[in-house]
Amino acid sequence: IYFGFHFVENYKKNEVEKWKLEAAVKEAELRALKSQMNPHFIFNCLNNLRGLIIEDPERAQTVVTQLASILRYSLQAGDTETVTLEEELQTVSDYLALEAVRLEERLQVKMDIDPASLKIPVPAMLVQTLVENGIKYGVATLPKGGEISLKSQVNASTLKIQVTN
């Protein structure tokens, strides 16, 4: 009985340690995802900005503000696990505006956001990353471009976010 009891106790301790380790790995992966800001995106923004400074100085100022907003959000995302969907969508809107400078009429955006979903917490940079991938691997690869569609809805207290390209 003594050995059986200690075997079960050790098994439970090992199981708890295993779950703690897995949680730590997932947390590290989430932190790494949050800290990623695609250098190619920043490079493109700066190149586009260089052209806008001469062509359209007011728009260049707007682009600088949007880029600064995204960079600030990206830095703050490393310190927090969740943000409201509304905060995340503001960053997505800034991101889409910056990509529209590069892709011009090749990028079409359609948003259908349920107002009830705006205050729901989501992982920081989650939606932005999905939209970025939709543009990078979908819209930008097509000669005629395409559409990014973003939809949110709440059903039975479950948030559903759909990003399509």
Q: What is the DSSP string of 34-69?
A: HH---HHHHHHHHHHHHHHHHH-HHHHHHHHHHHHH
Helix (H) or strand (E) holding 13: helix 2-35
Residue pLDDT, tens place only, 128-157: 888 988 988 888 888 898 999 999 999 888
Check: CB of residue 66 under 8 Å from CB of residue 98: yes
- Spatial distance between the Cα atoms of 13 and 163, rounded to a whole number of angstroms: 41
- pLDDT at res. 117: 93
What single string gives the DSSP state of each residue in 107-149? Answer: EEEEEEE-GGGTTSEEETTHHHHHHHHHHHHTGGGSTT-EEEE
Q: What is the distance between the alpha carbons of residues 106 and 82, in angstroms, rounded to a whole number? A: 32
Mean pLDDT score, 80-91? 89
pLDDT tens per residue, range 4-57 = 888 888 888 888 888 888 777 777 666 555 555 567 778 888 888 888 898 889
Q: Above 60 in pLDDT, residue 85?
A: yes
**pTM for the predicted model, two decimal places:** 0.73
pLDDT at residue 103 tops 70: yes
Residue with the bigger pLDDT between 64 and 20: it is 64
Give the span between the Cα atoms of 111 and 27, in whole angstroms: 30
Q: In this predicted structure, what is the pLDDT of residue 160? A: 93
pLDDT of res. 115: 94
Residue 108 has pLDDT above 80, yes or no: yes
